[in-house]
Every structure is written in structure tokens, then in C-alpha cells.
Structure 1
Amino acid sequence: MAEHKHGDMNIEDQEKTFEGFVKMVTRGGIIIIVSLIFLALLNA
């Protein structure tokens, strides 16, 4: 069986995927907050 060496794996693809996920969640949250503020202003 091969020896495991910590930190030896290439994780570039996983880092790019996580970065995209964080951007998507951030933008989605901003869109939801802006939409709620807009709806609150329309009902006032």
C-alpha cells in the first residue's frame, strides 16, 4: 500500500469550485436582501 503524504494532493480544481460556490452564495444573498428592501419600500 502506498504511503500517505499529507498535503501532496493537487486541490486546484476543488479550490476553484469552492471559490465559485462562495461567489454564487454571496451574490444570491445580496440579490435577496435588495429584493426584500425593494418590496418593503413598495409596501410603505
Structure 2
Amino acid sequence: MADHGLAQGGHPAMDYAEHERTYRAFVSFAKWGTGAVIVVLILMAIFLL
């Protein structure tokens, strides 16, 4: 990655712990949301065809 002159730990003004929590929540929501859509599509295929 490009070196922008920042220390190895990143920029001190960034809350990296909160960033990680937000990213993990987004990934979890995406997984569960995808699963829910798949279940709805399966149910639609069963009951509407």
C-alpha cells in the first residue's frame, strides 16, 4: 500500500475499534439479509408456482 507518512498504527484521529465493529455488523447484516432473501425466494417458488 502507498506510504502516506502515517505511523504503522494508522491515523490517531481514527477510531479503528469502532470502524471494525461497524464493518463486522455490516458483513453480518449482509449475510443474514442474503439468507432471508433466499428463504423468501424458495417460499415463493413453493407456494406461487
For Structure 1 versus Structure 2, the TM-score category normalised by the shorter chain is 0.7 to 0.9
Are 1:36 and 2:41 counterparts? yes
Which ranges of structure 2 fall in alignment gaps of 5 or more residues? none
Runs of 4+ in 1 over 3 A off after TM superposition: none
2 CA distance for matches of 1:6 and 1:24?
30
TM-score (norm 2): 0.71
CA RMSD, Structure 1 to Structure 2 (Å): 1.7
Are 1:4 and 2:35 counterparts? no
Which ranges of structure 1 fall in alignment gaps of 5 or more residues? none
Q: Which letter maps to 1:7?
A: G
Q: Which letter maps to 1:6?
A: Q
Q: Which letter maps to 1:32?
A: V
Query: Whose helix proportion is higher, 1 or 2?
Result: 1
Deviation at 1:6, TM superposition (A): 1.6
Q: Deviations over 1:1-44 (max 9, x none)?
A: xx621224551000000000001111110000000000000123
